[in-house]
């Protein structure tokens, strides 16, 4: 098997792991032109294609024996793995001082967050006193109504925008008046392909105006096999950012190992979020970086994460009889809530924080939002490759009118 410069090396590694040359591997093919050569693709052994117009690419399964031939075609820019993607508030809200913003009426009203994840369950805290579920798109099963057979996406959505209605505001998210758009890209076990997530991001960009999507939350990721300029995942989130959508990405749960930031969190423009452990107290003084939180630098030797947010033992929304609910019964809190840890939860907290900011400053661009958040983050004394600029802190943003 050759070593074509167009092919990401991990694709050849995947190919070698197949015992037979007539087996297939999932790939994303970047195209040179805008015209999709479907007939040529089929002839080159690429089957079950999915068009990813946002990044001028196609996803499909390629025969191992056809990989080199496909790489030699003039219309192929590059071939990358369609890698597996995995999922990565009672105390979290005061821990970042988000409740100070509430006193000025900043609760995210009028700002919609797209949670690209396992789906969103119609939980009482999202339906009462009136529904804040705006729209739903299902890449996995094609269903039209809100659901979440895993539970992860709903938990993240609650960290961002739950209002605590079921228990009189006890477990409220950071932006309890924000709207939510559910985009299901991962299955009931919390797994999916990069191409599915890109398709979900693409849908958000295409429906940005229709559903007033201002934020995309990506509490998921996969190992980074190439730099951000070549990585299809990174190219997709950059397109969303350029369209005016703030993108918040999980750093990953591969800590404390260095250089463990997941893609698309390696993309320099997006807000990449690591996790803090708030020790179950409202005071910030005893908080420390969570051991599981992925550390930088990135594969490109860039500083990431950008900021830290609470991500340890976050109490948020429970989905009865979901995959996580059955697998982690001990994590149930009261009847309607659930406790989970991870940079996934920290990312949801950050997305809610962004919604609070945009509710007060609707004209802020993604670049402005990120600059303000990073400028006012609290330096916790860790090296930048662990904490970025530091710990999210709403108090320091009060000078900007929120």
Token pair for 101: 């913003």
Catalytic residue among 152, 278, 293, 341: 152
Catalytic residue among 294, 331, 341, 344: 344
Catalytic residue among 117, 125, 278, 313: 117
Half-sphere exposure of 249 (CA within 13 A, CB side): 33
Active site residue 226: no
Residue 175's Cβ-count burial label (10 Å; 0-12, 13-18, 19+) is: buried
Token pair for 102: 């509430």
Token pair for 17: 């792991």
Of 100 and 129, the structure prediction assigns the larger pLDDT to 129
Active site residue 117: yes
Looking at CATH, the fold of the domain delimited by 9-82 is given as Alpha-Beta Plaits (3.30.70)
Token pair for 242: 């350029």
pLDDT reported for residue 396: 60
Cβ contact 153:192 at 8 Å: no
- State which H helix or E strand residue 148 sits in: none
Phi, psi of 251 (to 5 degrees): -70, -30
pLDDT reported for residue 121: 98
Q: Rounded to an integer, what is the distance from CA 318 to the centroid of its chain?
A: 19
381: three-class secondary structure by DSSP: coil
> Given a cut of 70, is residue 268 above it in pLDDT?
yes
pLDDT reported for residue 2: 42
The per-residue pLDDT for range 166-202, each reduced to its tens digit, is: 998 889 899 999 999 999 999 999 999 999 999 999 9
Domain coordinates of the chain in residue numbers? 9-82, 85-400
The per-residue pLDDT for range 142-169, each reduced to its tens digit, is: 999 999 999 999 999 999 999 999 998 8
Residue 234 CA: distances (Å) to CA of 18, 206, 224, 383: 27, 18, 10, 25
Residue 135 CA: distances (Å) to CA of 157, 168, 178, 208, 319: 13, 26, 13, 11, 19
The per-residue pLDDT for range 243-262, each reduced to its tens digit, is: 999 999 999 999 999 999 99
Pick among 3.40.50.200, 3.40.50.720, 3.30.300.10, 3.30.470.20: CATH of 85-400 = 3.40.50.200
pLDDT reported for residue 101: 56
């Amino acid at each position: 098997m050759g070593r074509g410069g167009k092919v990401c090396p991990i694709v050849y590694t995947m190919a070698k792991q197949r015992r037979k040359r007539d087996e297939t591997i999932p790939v994303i093919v970047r195209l040179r032109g805008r015209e999709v050569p479907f007939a040529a693709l089929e002839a080159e052994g690429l089957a079950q294609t999915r068009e990813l117009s946002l990044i001028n690419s196609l996803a499909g399964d390629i025969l191992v024996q056809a990989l080199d031939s496909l790489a030699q075609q003039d219309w192929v820019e590059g071939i990358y793995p369609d890698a597996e993607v995995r999922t990565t508030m009672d105390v979290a809200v005061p821990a970042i001082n988000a409740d100070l913003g509430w006193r000025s009426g900043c609760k995210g009203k009028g700002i919609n967050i797209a949670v690209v994840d396992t789906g969103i369950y119609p939980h009482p805290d999202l339906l009462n006193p009136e529904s804040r579920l705006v729209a739903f798109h299902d890449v996995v099963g094609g269903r039209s109504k809100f659901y979440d057979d895993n539970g992860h996406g709903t938990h993240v959505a609650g960290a961002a925008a739950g209002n605590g209605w079921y228990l009189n505001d006890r477990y409220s998210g950071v932006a309890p008046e924000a709207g939510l758009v559910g985009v299901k890209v991962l299955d009931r076990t919390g797994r999916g392909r990069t191409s599915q997530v890109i398709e979900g991001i693409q849908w958000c960009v295409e429906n940005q105006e229709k559903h007033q999507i201002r934020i995309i939350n990506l509490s998921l990721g996969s190992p980074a096999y190439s730099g951000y300029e070549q990585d299809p995942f990174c190219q997709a989130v950059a397109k969303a950012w350029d369209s005016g959508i703030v993108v918040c990405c999980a750093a990953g749960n591969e800590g404390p190992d260095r250089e463990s930031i997941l893609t698309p969190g390696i993309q320099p423009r997006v807000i990449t979020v690591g996790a803090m452990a708030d020790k179950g107290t409202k005071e910030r003084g005893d908080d420390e970086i969570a051991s599981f939180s992925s550390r930088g630098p990135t594969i490109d030797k860039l500083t990431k994460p950008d900021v830290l947010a609470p991500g340890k033992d976050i109490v948020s929304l429970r989905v009865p009889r979901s995959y996580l609910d059955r697998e982690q019964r001990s994590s149930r809190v009261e009847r309607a809530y659930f406790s989970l840890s991870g940079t996934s939860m920290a990312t949801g907290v950050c997305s809610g924080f962004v919604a609070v900011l945009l509710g007060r400053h609707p004209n802020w661009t993604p670049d402005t939002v990120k600059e303000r958040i990073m400028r006012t983050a609290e330096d916790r004394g860790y090296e930048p490759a662990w904490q970025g600029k530091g710990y999210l802190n709403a108090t320091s943003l009060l000078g900007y009118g929120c």
